[in-house]
């Protein structure tokens, strides 16, 4: 797709869970994961309260009114619109008695599984436990009215007790049935066949109801916090990665998994790095990539050996820019990696940069977008406030030329790298995303627009412990960490606190 960023105008599409400025946001409502399914027909979010909310695509709509449409000469595809579908409580607070450790219910990642039939399957996880949820629609039939004339029952009515209990052929209660009868009819309505509906005792189909059921729990395999799950292209296995280990599971087997990477040193004193993120290759079932806190991306071929501790190819930015310090080491920790759809490129996000890697070039990224360059002088303050450990997601478009990632002040940046052309744009997660600035030459103006954005967001500082770094030109408490790119369309869903904003281009 050669469409350059200049024509990519990002517009607000939808918002869910919007709050008024100043309205108190509960911690548990904060969204912690956003994920589209493989077709883009469904969107899932997880939050700090352990809940998973699903949105489904309504059949789509034109991106603008008919009138506007006439002025656009490029063919317009249907813009996906979403509506709330269902939600369920996926995880609860647990307590690990052996380690005297409370395990929070926060959903760290969500991953959609291949649809088996008309129900949806989704993997959700908190720090220690992965669960497979099935969400399906049931037809609900309600007994509208029970016809007092028993003889109109179709032959299936054999399966009601009427055929066997003599008192039903001559009702013991005048003009009706014993009390239990009515109760029973309502109770059985769930199971009765549709053919019965032909009779006058209509079981009305009162529409669908969505039910969520936990089908499997994959637990007790991780001693450290899980940071990633990823489903293999064989649709049979998935990986889960914690700080030190990567395990492979079969989706159907929840009591056994295989460890393929174990970075735990014999002596924890020798620990130099942790795994921060892991993902399977989108096409090759045998490849996976995982990133580390030292800024490496390791590419592993599971065909080579059962244990993938060695034999990894390492993608590493060897042209370490500028002075190395304690803080740049920390800021170099990769928070998220994503494979491009073609499987040739990997997008990585560390605290300072968004980098695009070509798997065939190990020594440096193809391109590096500076996100937080203006924060470089403030790293030590950011360290003191623990902000330097914030983990921002990144996402990549279907064509592999556009990338997005979040930052502070509820802002996210969208970049384009299309052959020689490089472009960037910064948007605010609000109903008016472009009000900040629209600057193709993004990093020169960063300081300017972020301080401008600051004006809008007073609430972030309300209970900030960070009053000592007032001169940081952004709102550190309004982090936009989680976002996802629609699998086929130019549509981005991003989470700002408890609100989910959707934008299209």
CB of 134 to another protein, least distance (A): 7
Using the minimum distance from each CB to another protein, give the nearer residue, 195 or 468: 195
By the 8 A CB rule, do 279 and 289 touch?
A: yes
Q: Write out the residues near another protein by the rule CB under 8 A.
A: 114-119, 121, 134, 138, 155-156, 158-159, 161, 163-166, 169, 184, 187-188, 190-195, 233-237, 252, 283-286, 302-306
Contacts of 502 (CB under 8 A, 6+ apart): 12, 13, 14, 15, 82, 491, 492, 493, 494
Contact 83, 58 (CB under 8 A): yes
| Shortest distance, position 121 Cβ to another protein, whole Å | 8
| Phi, psi of 169, deg, nearest 5 | -80, -25
Smaller CB separation from another protein, 281 or 497: 281
Residues across the chain: 505
| 393 within 8 A of 483, measured Cβ to Cβ | yes
Tell me how far, at minimum, the Cβ of 161 lies from another protein, in Å.
5
| Both structure tokens of 261 | 């990477």
Q: How near is the Cβ of 255 to another protein at its closest, in Å?
A: 14
Contacts of 170 (CB under 8 A, 6+ apart): none
Nearer to another protein, 72 or 158 (CB): 158
Q: Over the range 215-254, which residues count as b (16 or more CB within 10 Å of their CB) and which as e?
A: ebebeebbeeebbbbbbbbeeebbbbbbbbbbbbbebeeb
Q: In the sheet where 482-485 sits, what is the strand order?
A: 11-16, 499-504, 491-496, 482-485
What are the residue ranges of helices labelled H in 125-272?
166-169, 179-188
SS3 helix, strand, coil % of the chain, rounded to 5? Answer: 15, 40, 45
Longest dimension (CA), the chain: 95
Indicate the residue among 148 and 163 with the shorter CB distance to another protein: 163
Q: Least distance from C-beta 325 to another protein, angstroms?
A: 42
Nearest to 449 by CA among 420, 412, 487, 499: 412
* Least Cβ distance, residue 242 to another protein (angstroms): 23
Question: Smaller CB distance to another protein: residue 1 or 283?
Answer: 283
Least CB distance to another protein at residue 184 (A): 8
Lookup: tokens for 383: 């360290």
Among 220, 230, 16, CA closest to 109: 230
How many whole angstroms separate alpha carbon 413 and alpha carbon 425? 6
- The residue among 155 and 267 lying less far from another protein, judged by its C-beta, is 155
Nearer to another protein, 103 or 157 (CB): 157
* Closer CB to another protein, 19 or 215, in the complex: 215
Q: Which is nearer to another protein, 156 or 464 (CB)?
A: 156
As measured in angstroms, the least distance from the Cβ of 303 to another protein is 4
Distance of closest approach, residue 117 Cβ to another protein, in angstroms: 4
Q: Which residues of 378-395 are buried (b: 16+ CB within 10 A; e: fewer)?
A: bbebbeebebbebbbbbb
């Amino acid at each position: 797709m050669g469409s350059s960023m200049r024509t990519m105008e990002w517009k607000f599409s939808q918002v869910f869970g919007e709050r008024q400025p100043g309205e108190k946001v509960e911690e548990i409502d904060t969204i912690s994961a956003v994920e589209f399914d493989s077709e883009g027909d469904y969107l899932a979010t997880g939050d700090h309260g352990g809940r998973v909310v699903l949105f489904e695509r309504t059949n789509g709509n034109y991106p603008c009114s008919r009138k506007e449409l006439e002025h656009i000469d490029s063919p317009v595809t249907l813009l996906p619109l979403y509506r709330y579908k269902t939600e369920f409580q996926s995880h609860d607070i647990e307590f690990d008695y052996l380690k005297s450790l409370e395990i929070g219910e926060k959903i760290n990642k969500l991953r959609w599984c291949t649809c088996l039939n008309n129900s949806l399957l989704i993997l959700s996880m908190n720090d220690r436990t992965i669960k497979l949820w099935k969400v399906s629609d049931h037809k609900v039939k309600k007994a509208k009215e029970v016809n007092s004339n028993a003889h109109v029952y179709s032959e299936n009515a054999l399966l009601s007790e009427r055929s066997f209990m003599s008192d039903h052929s001559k009702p013991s209660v005048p003009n009706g049935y014993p009390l239990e009868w009515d109760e029973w009819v309502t109770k059985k309505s769930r199971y009765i066949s549709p053919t019965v509906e032909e009779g006058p005792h209509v079981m009305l189909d009162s529409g669908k109801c969505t039910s969520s059921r936990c089908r499997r729990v994959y637990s007790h395999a991780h001693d450290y916090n899980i940071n990633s799950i990823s489903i293999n292209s064989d649709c049979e296995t998935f990986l889960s990665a914690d700080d030190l280990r990567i395990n492979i599971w079969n989706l159907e087997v929840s009591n056994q998994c295989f460890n393929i990477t174990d970075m735990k040193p014999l002596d924890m004193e020798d620990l130099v790095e942790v795994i921060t993120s892991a993902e399977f290759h989108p096409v090759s079932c045998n490849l996976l990539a995982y990133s580390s806190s030292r800024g490496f991306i390791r590419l592993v071929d599971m065909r080579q050996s059962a244990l993938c501790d060695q034999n990894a190819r390492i993608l590493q930015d060897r042209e370490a820019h500028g002075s190395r310090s304690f803080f740049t080491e920390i800021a170099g920790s990769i928070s998220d990696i994503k494979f491009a759809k073609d499987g040739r490129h990997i997008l990585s996000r560390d605290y300072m940069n968004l980098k695009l890697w070509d798997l065939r070039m190990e020594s440096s990224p193809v391109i590096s977008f500076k996100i937080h360059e203006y924060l470089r002088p403030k790293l030590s303050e950011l360290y003191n406030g623990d902000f330097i450990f914030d983990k921002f997601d990144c996402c990549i478009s279907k064509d592999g030329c556009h990338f997005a990632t979040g930052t502070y002040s509820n802002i996210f940046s969208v970049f384009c790298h299309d052959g020689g052309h490089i472009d960037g744009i910064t948007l605010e997660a609000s109903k008016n995303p472009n009000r900040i600035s629209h600057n193709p030459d993004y990093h020169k103006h960063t300081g300017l627009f972020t301080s401008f954005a600051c004006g809008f967001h007073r609430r972030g500082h309300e209970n900030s412990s960070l009053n000592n770094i007032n001169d940081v030109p952004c709102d550190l408490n309004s982090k936009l960490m989680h976002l996802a790119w629609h699998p086929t369309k130019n549509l981005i869903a991003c989470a700002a606190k408890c609100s989910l904003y959707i934008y299209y281009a």
